[in-house]
Structure 1
Amino acid sequence: MNPRQASLNFILFTVFLDVLGIGLMIPVLPSLIGTLTDSSVLQAYWFGLLATTYGVMQFFCTPLLGALSDRYGRRPVLLLSIFGLGMSYIVTALTYSLWLLLATRLVSGATGATFSVANAYVADITSPEQRGKAFGQIGAAFGVGFIFGPMIGGSLSAIDLRLPFLVAAALSLANWLYGYFVLPESLAPTKRSAINWRKANPFGALMHLGKLKGVGQLVLVFCCSALAQFILQNTWVLYTEFRFGWRPQDNGIALFVVGMTSAITQGVLMATLLKRFGELKLAIIGMLSAGIINIAYGLTTHTQLLYVLILMNFLSFAVNPALQSFISKAASEHEQGLTQGALNAINSIMIIIAPLIGTFLLAQISHLDADNWLMGITFFVCAGLHLLGAILTWRHFRLLKSTS
């Protein structure tokens, strides 16, 4: 196996372990908050506050860490991120204070740049032609971790609600040790660049992203796609609890199906889809599909149908890798860390906004009957965002064709 492939395999394994740890806590955290609050309304608001705090810290820190990786290399930044995440899980498992729980989100958000630096690492070791496929493989590793994480977390919660957080901490710290002894550096000293503090802050990083040739309004498209994704991510567990009475174990199974669908799409089908449609056409098709499926999500009152819709929504999982690949090709090799950090800054903004929208809406409809169509309001919002993104991408595609 050549060194580049070995390095890529390590990054894929690192992403898998990291997401596995995160996945363990996804179906459990809302329930943990529920044990510390007195009502479903407070549960929704506190969950939204914790999610927003995480997003705020990521927004301000991920562009900086991306720029630091351009200056000092990917390896030390990756190791710092993984270690900080592991320590935050330990505190989460042990605390009975909502305020201390909030503090752990500050730490995990500040060190949560693993994926942006991992994407920059992949950009270092792949050619522009192979980059879309490689980003799809990262998405697949994410999906595989997401397959097993929520299911295991839901099962462990039946033993003890705090056990999944201890297991997540063990996985993160084991991943840190693995990286410490095995991970090679991908960015040669000759390719490193001094930190531009005007760009290393999140606002400067976003300006840099907007100036990349040929990107234009795709930044707004990425915003729409990410916001819809994070609204769904932040509200799924609470929504199914409110509407269907699901437990963490039930959500673990459903999120297993989500992860499996994502992994197959991004790891197996991505190269074929890119070859068949190209990046922008694939993004348009994926967002149109997601818009229709989200409307169906919000209208259904049958739990079995949710699983069918998850499988039918497979094209939506190709949207972000396609957009990410297109934007990455517009950046130079000296600015991949900054570019990926800027994309993650967008994700961070959306992580901030998503719970403010999603959990607020859930709190307003939590008293409604399960068969009331307004229970699906968060999915209708996501559908609108996906359809808007599809229209903007189509316009951008037409513009590029007319000027080429």
Structure 2
Amino acid sequence: MVFVSSSIRLIRTQGPENIFSRMDADQTTQGNGHSSRIITVVFFTLLLDLLGFTLILPLLPSILDYYSERNDVVYQSLQSLVDRFKEAFGVPSEVKYNTVLFGGLIGSTFSLLQFVSSPLTGAASDRYGRRPLMFLTTAGLISSYILWAFSHSFTIFLLSRVIGGICKSNVSLCTAIMADLPQPKARNKGMAMIGVAFSLGFTFGPLMGAYFALRPKESDLFYQGPAFLALGFSAVDLLFIFIMLPETLHKDNKAHQMTSKIQELRDLLNPLALFNFTAVTRTKEIPSEQKIKNLKVLGMVYFTYLFFFSGLEFTLSFLTHQRFQFSSMQQGKMFLFIGIVMALIQGGYARRIKPGQQIKTVRLALILLIPAFLLVGIAWNLILLYTGLFLYSFAAAVVVPCLSAQVSEHGTAGQKGVVMGILRSLGALARALGPIVSSSVYWLTGAESCFFIYSVGFIAPLALLSRLDRQKNE
């Protein structure tokens, strides 16, 4: 909380445009100064949000143990699903694997909720503005943390995760705000700073969660400290949005009404329609045919990349525990390494990528992922493992910001919300399906085969990028 209050005091006294002044030294015009201010405000807004969101991550194993000991009916029902999966794919009967799979089930549910909510929230923001929807989703997150703090049953805990999953569509709103920026260079920097916020949030949030969960052994409610801290972060975030965040969607750019409300919902919930960006073509301001084609390809690149990436990311916990006997603390140190490398790359390199170099950078990152996961798959010592993880971190730092910046170039001013919401939705679907498929392949074929198969899988998004080049030459 000291960090939060200091950050707000710094912004109020110096002005958001002066923070990161070194980054923005080359921006001297009034328009660029305004963009810099928006980038800074969104960065802090998202960082506060992600610090609260990630507090729970290191606590999930203990929380699941807490409810399993109480013979909660809902918990036991979900546990039977995990047990059937373990039997079908030959997963060893170890507590570690059970916890990872159960956590993966909850994570997939969380991602599916984002798959549903992100395009709907994005479309609503195109119609009513970014700021009101940011208020609404942040207020929803506050309610989810209140439920978590008093979740004496697994049903209440699960309800808190459901509400949280629906309201995490605020991330797509942050990307839509960055997409509203007028200059391509500013949009690219904005997407990179969103990546920095993610890296910092996922690096320091879990550490704070573990620290605030420290309680006397006789206390059952070990999770209340992190829950109330998450509530505090979100409350400060809501106040921060009210004081600092302007509306970036101009009234003249608000989306026109679609021909049919039922058709609109169908376009925003049907996976096939989302892959085709059908909702973008329903308004009066329809992008060019070439831009629609590019959106479809970029959406497929985004989905296939995250499908393979999230799958291998999920199985890392299996591999390091099985091969190197990593404890939870060692797992935490591994992800801390990844987070720090990502933050350095995003803050020092990704934000400087020129708009015309984004696809080239994505192609390089995808190529590097092939040897990265091959090294992780065959690693028999920590040097090979961390070499692969370093290459992995580079890709994780640049692919999503660069693709997001590219997608933001498509669609009219009144469609940025729905375009970025659809992209976020496709990513959520990939993150819901990827871990389930990858863990199945892992236990059926073994670690080496799984990582080899998935490494080769990155050829798919590379091939799609080549298709994008052919479309440009047509």
Is TM-score (shorter-chain normalized) higher than 0.5? yes
Q: Report the residue type matching 2:145 in the other structure.
A: Y
Corresponding residue for residue 106 of structure 1: 162
Are the aligned partners of 2:372 and 2:392 in contact in 1 as well (CA < 8 Å)? yes
Q: CA deviation at 1:31?
A: 4.1
Distance of aligned partners of 1:159 and 1:194 in 2 relative to their CA distance in 1, 3 Å threshold: farther
**Which of 59, 74, 80 is matched with 1:28 structurally?**
59
Q: Superposition pairs for residues 5-404 of structure 1, below 5 Å?
A: 5-37=36-68, 40=95, 42-157=98-213, 159=215, 162=223, 163-196=225-258, 197=261, 198-200=263-265, 201-203=268-270, 204-208=273-277, 212-237=292-317, 239-274=319-354, 278-303=357-382, 305-316=384-395, 317-360=397-440, 364=443, 374-375=446-447, 379-397=451-469, 399-400=470-471, 402-403=473-474
Q: Distance in 2 between matches of 1:394 and 1:206?
A: 18
SS at match of 1:257: helix
Q: Distance in 1 between matches of 2:142 and 2:316?
A: 25
Distance of aligned partners of 1:380 and 1:141 in 2 relative to their CA distance in 1, 3 Å threshold: same
Are the aligned partners of 2:274 and 2:426 in contact in 1 as well (CA < 8 Å)? no
* CA shift digits 1:327-355 (9 cap, x unpaired): 22121111000000000110121122123
SS at match of 2:246: coil
Between 1 and 2, higher relative CO (CA 8 Å, sep ≥ 6) is seen in 1
Q: CA deviation at 1:297?
A: 1.5
Distance of aligned partners of 1:117 and 1:194 in 2 relative to their CA distance in 1, 3 Å threshold: same
Q: Distance in 1 between matches of 2:319 and 2:66?
A: 17
Q: CA deviation at 1:20?
A: 1.8
Q: CA deviation at 1:13?
A: 0.7
Distance of aligned partners of 1:352 and 1:236 in 2 relative to their CA distance in 1, 3 Å threshold: same
Q: Report the residue type matching 1:66 in the other structure.
A: G
Q: Distance in 2 between matches of 1:65 and 1:168?
A: 22
TM-score by length of 1: 0.86
Are the aligned partners of 2:193 and 2:351 in contact in 1 as well (CA < 8 Å)? no
The percentage of aligned residue pairs carrying the same residue is 24
Are the aligned partners of 2:306 and 2:434 in contact in 1 as well (CA < 8 Å)? no
Are the aligned partners of 1:292 and 1:383 in contact in 2 as well (CA < 8 Å)? yes
Are the aligned partners of 1:117 and 1:341 in contact in 2 as well (CA < 8 Å)? yes
Point out where structure 1 has 5 or more consecutive residues left out of the alignment: 366-372
Are the aligned partners of 1:73 and 1:187 in contact in 2 as well (CA < 8 Å)? yes
Q: CA deviation at 1:386?
A: 2.3
Q: CA deviation at 1:177?
A: 2.2
Q: Distance in 2 between matches of 1:153 and 1:248?
A: 14
Are the aligned partners of 2:138 and 2:237 in contact in 1 as well (CA < 8 Å)? yes
Q: CA deviation at 1:234?
A: 3.8
Count how many residue pairs are aligned between Structure 1 and Structure 2: 393
Corresponding residue for residue 30 of structure 2: none
Q: Distance in 1 between matches of 2:214 and 2:117?
A: 35
Distance of aligned partners of 1:291 and 1:202 in 2 relative to their CA distance in 1, 3 Å threshold: farther
Q: Distance in 2 between matches of 1:244 and 1:92?
A: 34
Q: CA deviation at 1:242?
A: 4.8
Distance of aligned partners of 1:126 and 1:138 in 2 relative to their CA distance in 1, 3 Å threshold: farther
Are the aligned partners of 1:152 and 1:252 in contact in 2 as well (CA < 8 Å)? no
Q: Distance in 1 between matches of 2:53 and 2:439?
A: 20
Larger Rg, first or second structure (1 or 2): 2
Q: Distance in 1 between matches of 2:461 and 2:211?
A: 37
TM-score by length of 2: 0.74
Q: Distance in 1 between matches of 2:319 and 2:148?
A: 23
Q: Distance in 2 between matches of 1:265 and 1:355?
A: 26
> How well do the aligned residues superpose, as a CA RMSD in angstroms?
2.8
* 123-132 vs 287-296, which moves further: 123-132
Are the aligned partners of 2:52 and 2:229 in contact in 1 as well (CA < 8 Å)? yes
Are the aligned partners of 1:150 and 1:255 in contact in 2 as well (CA < 8 Å)? no
Q: Distance in 2 between matches of 1:159 and 1:249?
A: 18
Point out where structure 2 has 5 or more consecutive residues left out of the alignment: 1-16, 18-32, 70-93, 217-221, 281-288
Q: CA deviation at 1:380?
A: 4.0
Q: Distance in 1 between matches of 2:226 and 2:381?
A: 29
Q: Distance in 1 between matches of 2:453 and 2:161?
A: 26
Q: Report the residue type matching 1:10 in the other structure.
A: V
Q: CA deviation at 1:394?
A: 2.8
Distance of aligned partners of 1:93 and 1:42 in 2 relative to their CA distance in 1, 3 Å threshold: farther
